[in-house]
Amino acid sequence: MTALRVLSVVPEIFPLIKTGGLADVAGALPGALAAEDVAVRSLVPGYPPVLQAMDGATVVHRADDPYAWPDNGFRFAALSRIGALIGLGALGVYRPDVVHAHDWQGGLMPAYLHYAADPHPPSVMTVHNLAYQGQFPTGYLAALGLPAAAYAIDGVEYYGSIGYLKAGLQFADRITTVSPTYAQEICTPSGGMGLDGLLRARHAVLEGIRNGIDTEVWNPADDPHLAVSFDVDRLEARAVNKAALQTRFGLEPDARRLLFGVVSRLASQKGIDLLLEALPTLVAAGAQLALLGAGDANLEAALRSMAVLHRGSIGIQFGYDEALAHLIQGGSDALLVPSRFEPCGLTQLCALRYGALPVVARVGGLNDTVIDANEAALAAGVATGFQFAPVEVAALVAAIERALAVWRQPQQWRHMQRNAMQFDVSWRTPARRYAALYRELVATRTERG
Ligand code: ADP
């Protein structure tokens, strides 16, 4: 069997450039696919950190946030167009069997292929977050090199603009998203963000494949960012990390207090406003919070006031800090993820692997990856965390209280930690599914001739 060649078109890739989970996926999936005999090459814009990592390249691009630019419509159309040209064989030496676009930034690639005259490879469009859709003015059409006919409801037109993600969803041979529950949610009016009609129409080619995490980067048994490494048979060692975390966040160094961690973008999606409202109850119950986050200025200000009000119980660090994220996973007792929607979510996967029990909203990938400690699951001994629904303060508070109730039964807590750490969060199973999907596409294409 010769390796299948896949060109992955991505706007960010760990460890070179990262704003969120998509970078982790783009960075880790190719390695997992190699084990399935799929050879992935990634097409990434030449941001300064990307070029600095290459020999002989010169930085001609702009620094900082990859998306904070007024000409994004042209920048990512260029990325998609180059992806399409490579798909059509423009490089000569390299021609992919399948092309794979990620999020709106790669969305035009399937459209470019569709309007190309030549035979082209099958395409996959993956939605990592439907909230970011990439809408740009109709006037761009000619400059983007798309035919006038493309501006149609069954083309790239989207509510009076050009929709990049819409284009990808319209023209890709297969659509995937990052968890089975999110695949269902995005087909409903409440979760579809304007695209549910199209997604329902394309339901037959839509599939949810949950993300994994890089289990070498996230390995509690060998993690340079922890005070001490540990594994499922040496869980006592976690206490050292908890103490280090409490010190780092200015929290009272008390092993008996349940320490909740948060690692998150500070955005409405992540339900941080709900968490703010739940904090007085959390503190009154004797628990602590260590939060690492960056984003919305209002949320930062509100969190800062909470930390001042509850010194010793609430500790906050603002900014993006990969190393500290590891210490929070390895030192907190539980990880809070109160997202309003969550396509997959990676932080709860890291939490499972590090034995920090996830307390999550029952949405998207959080629903698919955390086994709620309800009576039945506890009786069967399979629970790994706590889910709450609906995504409202009262339900979040109730879940925090349920976590505290289990915390008071240390053996039960330990048992759940062991379950959590044994849950498979790796890329192995999802990578197999992607590999199968690519092969199905190539086989269908070959049958059709
Ligand atoms: P999203 O992509 O919506 O932000 P995910 O849970 O899918 O959410 O992925 C977030 C990724 O970014 C995880 O790897 C998480 O550890 C990391 N992360 C988020 N915020 C921070 C932060 N402030 N510092 C360090 N890492 C962060």
Tell me, using a 6 A CB cutoff, whether residue 321 lines ligand 1.
yes
Atom of ligand 1 nearest to the CA of 319: 23
Cβ–ligand 1 contact at 264 (below 6 Å) = yes
DSSP string, 146-184: --GGGSSTTTTEETTEEEHHHHHHHH-SEEEES-HHHHH
Using alpha carbons, list the distances in angstroms from residue 444 to 39, 86, 109, 210, 440.
20, 21, 20, 24, 6
Beta carbon of 347 within 6 Å of any ligand 1 atom: yes
Task: Indicate if ligand 1 lies below 6 Å from the C-beta of 131.
Answer: no
Q: Is 328 in the pocket of ligand 1 (CB under 6 A)?
A: no
Nearest atom (ligand 1) to Cα of 129: 3
Q: What ligand 1 atom has the least distance to the C-alpha of 213?
A: 14
**Residue count (the chain):** 449
| Token reading at 293 | 């986050």
Q: Is residue 250 a contact partner of residue 221, using CB atoms and an 8 Å limit? A: no
Please tell me the chain's helix, strand, coil percentages from 3-state DSSP, rounded to the nearest 5.
Answer: 45, 15, 40
Q: How far is the CA of 16 from the centre of ligand 1 (A)?
A: 15
Q: Which tokens hold the place of 14?
A: 């760990």
How far is it, in rounded angstroms, from Cα 11 to Cα 310? 40
Distance (Å) from CA 66 to ligand 1 centroid: 16
Ligand 1 touching residue 85 (CB < 6 A): no
pLDDT one digit per residue (tens) for the chain, 449 residues: 589 999 999 999 999 999 889 999 999 999 999 999 999 999 999 998 899 898 888 877 877 789 988 899 999 999 999 999 999 999 999 999 999 999 999 999 999 999 998 899 999 999 999 999 999 999 999 999 999 999 999 999 999 999 999 999 999 999 999 999 999 999 999 999 999 999 999 999 999 999 999 999 999 999 999 999 999 999 999 999 999 999 999 999 999 999 999 999 999 999 999 999 999 999 999 999 999 999 999 999 999 999 999 999 999 999 999 999 999 999 999 999 999 999 999 999 999 999 999 999 999 999 999 999 999 999 999 999 999 999 999 999 999 999 999 999 999 999 999 999 999 999 999 999 999 999 999 999 877 65
Decide: residue 109, CB within 10 A, 0-12 exposed, 13-18 middle, 19+ buried: buried
